[in-house]
Chain A
Amino acid sequence: MTAPQTTRKQSPIAQAWLIMYNVAMTAGWLVIGLGIVNHFYKHRTHKGLYRQVEKQLLFFQTAAIFEIIHAATGIVRSNVMLTTMQVFSRVGIVWGVIQPVAQVHNTEGIPMLMVAWTITEIIRYLYYTFMLLGTTPYIVVWLRYSLFTVLYPLGVSGELLSIYNSLKPVRDSQMYSLFLPNQLNFSIDYHIVLIGTIPFYFIFFPQLYFHMFAQRKKLWDLDLRLLPRKQTDSSILDYLIHVVQPIRNNCMQCEKMKQCCVYGFYSSIVFLRKKMKYDILD
């Protein structure tokens, strides 16, 4: 998930809540991660994995709904529609596909999406937490903008596999379906609804995936030009930590990332040139 988040100047209560929320979510997903590791260590199979972490997964994935509230109330500046779609696609998979269809629990899709989601979420919430605290270690930024290359396809494949594996049981049990005749004069076939969701993955996944690559590239370009290989001058490192870091952080989360980056880039170059001139002169 790539919901851009930027904290505005806001009330201490909102900020405190956001810090608590993000810390709790990081911790929650860490617990899930430990559960997964523990399960694989003990049993050496993905069978039974879902049962092992079911409660934690349901709780913390559902708690992501707060992100919609954060966006809607404006305490986090991110697109409400986009956040809603992202959160509900996950919540929908968990509550609408995996949880109700027991036949899916031991299939291969589950470990795939669990591993992908867990690592992504630990890093994402960690990143937000650091953001709120005002500093982001470079390693967290790097992980957030690098691991997706593997984790996104892995997660999406897991989700698609889970939906596919749920189709037959859903059709046989006629789960969540309503058939004519009935007094509402309305029918819905959940089996068809699930099939209908599959094309959306093929429409939206490439867009989201390449969008992340574009963001990554912008970030890296900025970095490379600002940090000449030979320069290990402490004043430049200092500058990178105190000036570039905040600019980059803002750029990455701002919806108008492009303008931000360009602005940040130019202002940094100007600043750096001046500084280097003086450093050399000294």
Chain B
Amino acid sequence: MELQILDSKTKQKLCTLERISSNTTIDSIKEIYQRKFPNYYPERQSFKSSPKGKLLKGSETLSELNLGAEGVLYFKDLGPQVGWSTVFYCEYTGPLFVYLLFYFRLPYIYDSKFAFTSSPDDVVHLAAICHSFHYMKRVLETKFVHRFSHGTMPIKNLFRNCSYYWSFAAWMAYYINHPLYTPATFGTMQICSGLAVFVLCELGNLSIHLAFRSLRPSGSKQRKIPTATGNPFTLLFNFVSCPNYTYEFGSWVGFAVMTQTLPVFIFAFVGFGQMAIWALAKHRNYKKEFSNYPRSRKAILPIVL
């Protein structure tokens, strides 16, 4: 069959693909399209069957779309793409360095007499260790643990995500490392409990990421209902669909309690808001995909949400 490709916005004709068999998948259409327009690599392309419809999945074939004799597909340019791991490395190495600029009190951040001085409060050093550990862990997880089901994202997300992480890190670090920092009101007890929550949640988060890895063997796009493994931290899977987010939120609450700094609390709750949106979407997908999905499971907070 013959396939017309129109621009989804202007409805102008971009090209005609000839002699296309009806069981061609969208993925192969993307390769054929790239041969005509070498600038548009497959990740950058998306196709729709109507100008305002949903983006078609790569595995769908033309015959499934009921395009009729005069096949028309709408092309949408997703913009320049960048790999997920690149985005992750930028997002996570930024806060790591930014935090340390404040920790070492580089000149022009605080009053010049405090340049390169060190805080008398132990919790400040502890916080620097925790913060660095958190982002080091994320970088290493990106390298060795995560498997990405989608290869790329639009490059503008890189700027948006980086400015979010970097500026929050700077804002938190400014107050925690400030010469006028006030340590925890309830002293060592508060610091220790915050630290304990932080460490446990970091371990929990790592365990969940490892569990996710084992759910998706390398090279496959196979999907299973995530369940608890031998690791006790993964028992949280019995309560929520995205325990990694639950632990992530827990870590930041622990860090906030330990440092008793308002911007950290704000970061924890803004992050929670975003993660809750992702978790609810993922939860909905699980329920749609698996008819036997455990009904008692929530999205991100056990029993509550």
Interface residues of A (CB under 8 A from B): 180-187
* Contact assessment for B175 and A181 in the assembled complex, using a CB-CB cutoff below 8 Å: no
Instruction: Kindly state whether residue B246 has any CB partner on chain A within 8 Å.
Output: no
CA–CA, A182 and B180, complex, Å: 8
A184 to chain B, nearest CB (A): 4
Q: B164-186: which residues lie under 8 A (CB-CB) from chain A?
A: 175-176, 178, 180-182, 185
For the complex, what is the distance from the CA of A146 to the CA of B173, rounded to whole Å?
51
Cβ B185 vs Cβ A185 within 8 A? no
- A-B contacts, 18 of them at CB < 8 A, read A180-B175, A180-B180, A180-B181, A181-B180, A181-B182, A182-B182, A183-B260, A184-B261, A184-B262, A185-B175, A185-B178, A185-B182, A185-B259, A185-B261, A185-B262, A185-B263, A186-B261, A186-B262
Q: Interface on B for A, CB 8 Å cutoff? A: 175-176, 178, 180-182, 185, 259-263
A contact residues around B176 at 8 Å (CB): 185
Interchain CA distance A163-B180 in the complex, whole Å = 30
A181 to B179, CA, bound (A): 9
A196 → chain B closest CB, angstroms: 15
Contact across chains for B175 and A186 when beta carbons are under 8 A apart: yes
Q: Within the assembled complex, what's the spacing in Å between the Cα atoms of A184 and B263?
A: 9
The answer for the CA separation of A181 and B175 in the assembled complex, in Å, is: 10
Across the interface, name the chain B residue whose C-beta is closest to A186.
B262
3 A-B pairs with least C-beta separation: A186-B262, A180-B180, A185-B261
Closest to B266 in A: A186
Could you tell me the distance in whole angstroms from the C-beta of B168 to the nearest C-beta in chain A?
Answer: 14
Whether B259 and A183, one on each chain, are in contact in the complex, defined by CB atoms closer than 8 angstroms, is no
Q: How far is the CA of A174 from the CA of B260 in the complex (A)?
A: 24
In the bound assembly, the distance between CA atoms of A182 and B185 in angstroms comes to 10
**Interface Cβ pair total, 8 Å cutoff:** 30
Chain A CB within 10 A, most for which of B176, B185, B262: B262
State in angstroms the CA–CA spacing of A185 and B261 once bound together.
5
B261, closest chain A residue (CB): A185
What chain B residues lie within 8 Å of A181 (beta carbons)? 180-182
Complex-state Cα separation, A185 to B263, whole angstroms: 8
A186 contacts across to B, CB distance below 8 A: 175, 261-263
Give Cα A180 to B181, complex, Å.
Answer: 7
A180 to B178 CA separation, bound complex (whole angstroms)? 9
Complex CA–CA separation, A184 to B259 (angstroms): 10
Contact in complex: B263, A183 (CB < 8 Å) = no
In the bound complex, residues from chain B placing their C-beta under 8 Å from that of A185 are 175-176, 178, 181-182, 259-263
Closest Cβ of chain B to A59, distance in Å, is: 33
Residues from chain A with Cβ under 8 Å of B175 in the complex: 180, 185-187
**How many Å lie between the Cα of A182 and that of B259 in the bound state?**
13
Q: Which B residues touch A180, using CB under 8 A?
A: 175, 178, 180-182
Q: Closest approach, in angstroms, between the C-beta of B122 and any C-beta of chain A?
A: 16
Closest residue to A180 on the B side, CB-wise?
Answer: B180
What residues on A are CB-neighbors of B259 within 8 Å? Answer: 185
- In the complex, the chain A residue whose C-beta lies closest to that of B184 is A183
- Known contacts A184-B262, A185-B181, A186-B262; 19 additional CB pairs below 8 A are A180-B175, A180-B178, A180-B180, A180-B182, A181-B180, A181-B181, A183-B185, A183-B260, A184-B261, A185-B175, A185-B176, A185-B178, A185-B182, A185-B260, A185-B263, A186-B175, A186-B261, A186-B263, A187-B175
Residues of A near B185 (CB, < 8 A) are: 183
Nearest-neighbor residue (CB-CB) of B175 within chain A: A185
Cα A192 to Cα B251 in complex, Å, equals 32
A276 to chain B minimum Cβ distance, whole angstroms, is: 33
CB distance from B163 to the nearest CB of A (A): 17
Q: A184 CA to B178 CA in the complex, in Å?
A: 13
Shortest CB-to-CB span from A64 to chain B, Å, is 27
CB distance from A186 to the nearest CB of B (A): 4
- Residues of chain B lying within 8 A (CB to CB) of residue A187: 175
A185–B259 CA distance with the chains assembled, in angstroms: 9
The interface residues of chain B lying within 8 Å CB-to-CB of A183 are 182, 185, 260
> For residue B178, which residues in chain A have a CB less than 8 angstroms away from its CB?
180, 185
Q: How far apart sit A26 and B181, CA to CA, in the bound complex (Å)?
A: 52
Which A residues touch B262, using CB under 8 A? 184-186
Q: How far apart are the CA atoms of A185 and B175 in the complex, in Å?
A: 6
